[in-house]
A and B are shown apart, each in its own frame.
Chain A
Amino acid sequence: MAIFVDENTKVIYQGLTGSQGRFYGLLNRDYGTKVVAGTNPRKAGTDVEGIPVFATVGEAVEATGATASCIFIPAPGVRDAVIEAAEGGVKFIVCITEGVPAHDEAWFYNKLRRDFPDVRLLGPNCPGIISPGKCNIGITAGHIAKPPAPGEKAVGIVSRSGTLTYQALYELKLNDIAVSTCVGIGGDPVPGTSFIDCLEAFEADPDTHAVMMFGEIGGSAEEEAAEFIKSKMTKPVVSYIAGVTAPPGKKMGHAGAIVSGGKGTAQAKMDALRDAGAKVGLNPTEASQLMVEVVRNL
């Protein structure tokens, strides 16, 4: 098992005919992901290396039975693309696009909650999701993650940062530790899927035995996750928070990574996580080493 996506997930790529969509769509297919369709209203009826292109997500779902979509549409079109995917009938939407206005994100987050409560959005501005050996949707390099062998104890990863996620996957692989699913929730102010959504799913997944959580400064998502870990999680959690030394009031790359009004500091987040019983590493490597110990003791 894995969370959110597995070997049976059929995926539509919105923006498959663009350069990024094509590049990653084909790379994901090479990994083994069931990339069943692309969409582009102006190129319906054509194909991208054998992947059929439809005018809309609705038509693609009807023809292929897809349950997920991956958005590589430029930022101005994302708001419409998310709603098109939900109306088209997919249940899991991964939005890779960065630079989406915060008001659009807040709007479609609430719109989905209300009108499509069974649809999950991941992102925007995220690297995507990979269930190693089964399905890779997004921009993660598949080979840096170790798929679990049958019966092998595996780690789930959830992270706000792309490159730190890769770092974690890679270091775990070097230590011969398998990953059940790795979810990049993205660094924007209104992520469609939260840490808690992922922690809850990992807690319920019989094939995930421990969870690695990489957070960063800004907002209070890590503190809320710590509350959840304290009250609901039985599986061990190892964490790392980036931005310990970030000056207040300066955005550190991600739109969501800013310490303002004394809130959202790395120290407060680390304290909350430690208080919740999570192990906290001071850098990604230390966190990976802590996870190695945790897995050895499982």
Chain B
Amino acid sequence: MDLFEYQGKQFFARYGIPVSPGEVVSTVDEAVAAAERLGYPVVVKAQVQVGGRGKAGGIKLAGDAEETRTHARNILGMDIKGHTVELLWIEKASDIAEEYYASFTLDRSVKKHLGMLSAKGGVDIEAVAAEDPDAIAKIWVDPVDGLTEEQARAWVEAAKLNPRATEGAVDVLLKLYRAYVEGDADLVEINPLILKPTGEVHALDAKVTLDGNAVFRHPDYEQYDATQVRDERERAAHEKGLQYVGLDGYVGVIANGAGLAMSTVDIVNQVGGKPANFLDIGGGASADVMAGALEVINNDPNVRSILINIFGGITKGEEVANGIVTALGRVQIDVPIVIRLDGTNADLGREILKPHLSDKLQMQPTMLDAAKTAVALAGK
């Protein structure tokens, strides 16, 4: 789950990481009112879950109410890399002496937590990594041991931050690690982490991704689920508990298992078509799940044909076929459907489907044939 900056800062504040006072608003008047309460100068910041806000004009300094009004009006509704700005974070402006970068994430190949710290903050860290890799000090933290103060101190020294920042940086990094682990985050990133002229170290931005699998430990994370950026199709699928990712093509894809669903999307592309989505219905392929999947796909106006790709393992072919037949009875589908059913008792399943076949409901023996047929039908 990706958090907006304001949510990330609230998350950081819970672990004692210093952040600027601010308020989240959704209208120009609210923005001005918030600025008046906070005191000028303020920064008007677009809340979108995508990088490069500053360059796109989504972050502006305002010295008075008039400027706040102008910036808020310009930024609200702005499109930043396909994300429409609906919320603003109005924050008391900070004096900046230096800008750093700090983050923790899982290093999947080393299987330990990777901390990255750089004196070159405030810019795209991937650019720093490419041009000047030595400017990023890395530390691998064993999850069993955690991060000690001694390690944090050595790490800060290795990153060659201003010596005046050492104490504040050590403090923030220890708290950031705690937030990362105790908060079950996939990623915590502060860019920039600033040194103020007064010597304090402070998080000026917050990028946080939380692990959706850990919600059972953090019931309050449900609130973030509601603010996830999803298109309408993804929202509908999510409500039905389906694993769905919207794509921009026209062949609706339904498969069982993440790998098979990914593979089906690939094959549609390989035969010259464009998949409308990735949809994994899981192992069972029951009538309820299949009907839900068909509804979601049917509501996508771009879909011109549907490819159902099921491999029966423990779930037998006849159960899958009965599920499909029942689901088709419940959902009115207007576009042609191609089914590929294989695996356990596939023959029995195909027999069950046979009486229902027509121009609008076809069956093909292999994934490749099924994909070709679905793409051809979409073209008509």
- A interface residues with partner B (beta carbon < 8 Å): 24, 27, 75-76, 99-103, 106-107, 109-111, 114, 139-141, 143-144, 159-167, 170, 187, 189-190, 214, 216-217, 219-221, 224, 240, 242-247, 250-257, 261, 266, 282-285
Contact = CB atoms under 8 A, between A and B. Distances in A.
A111 B144 contact: yes
Nearest to B271: A283
Q: Which of B243, B256, B259 has the most CB of A within 10 A?
A: B259
Contacts of B256: 163
Given A167-B311, A245-B275, A253-B280, A282 B259 contact: no
Nearest to B343: A170
Interface stretch (B34-42, B151-159, B261-269, B290-298): B261-269
Nearest to A215: B259
B211 interface: yes
A253 B270 contact: no
B143 A163 contact: no
Contacts of A283: 263, 266-267, 270, 367-368
A164 B314 contact: no
B144 to A, nearest CB: 5
B343 A244 contact: no
B118 to A, nearest CB: 16
A157 to B, nearest CB: 13
A144 B283 CA distance: 16
Contacts of B260: 161, 163-164, 167
A246 B313 contact: no
Contacts of A101: 184, 211, 213-214, 217
Contacts of B4: none
A120 B247 CA distance: 39
A111 B143 CA distance: 8
Top 6 nearest A-B pairs (CB, nearest first) are A161-B259, A163-B257, A253-B258, A164-B259, A163-B260, A101-B214
Given A106-B112, A252-B262, A163 B311 contact: yes
A250 B278 CA distance: 10
Nearest to B245: A250
22 contacts: A24-B314, A76-B216, A100-B213, A101-B213, A102-B214, A141-B344, A144-B313, A144-B343, A161-B262, A162-B283, A166-B313, A167-B342, A190-B111, A216-B262, A243-B262, A244-B266, A253-B243, A253-B245, A253-B262, A255-B213, A257-B258, A283-B367
Interface in B280-339: 280, 283, 311-314
B184 A252 contact: no
Given A75-B216, A253-B280, A283-B266, A170 B342 contact: yes
Interface in B26-71: none
Interface of B: 106, 108-109, 111-113, 126, 142-144, 181, 184, 186, 211, 213-214, 216-217, 243, 245, 247, 255-263, 265-267, 269-270, 275, 278, 280, 283, 311-314, 342-344, 366-368
Contact of A214 (B111, B214, B259): B259
A253 B211 contact: no
B262 A257 contact: yes
Nearest to A141: B313
Contact of A252 (B213, B216, B245, B283): B245
A104 to B, nearest CB: 8
B144 A163 contact: no
Contacts of A166: 257, 311, 313, 343
A189 B106 CA distance: 9
Contacts of A24: 314
A139 B283 contact: yes
A261 B265 CA distance: 22
Contacts of A244: 266, 269-270
B126 A261 contact: yes
Nearest to A140: B313
Nearest to A282: B270
A213 B269 CA distance: 22
Given A252-B262, A256-B108, A257-B262, 13 more contacts: A101-B217, A102-B106, A141-B314, A163-B256, A163-B257, A164-B263, A166-B343, A167-B311, A167-B343, A220-B108, A243-B262, A244-B270, A253-B245
A109 B109 contact: no
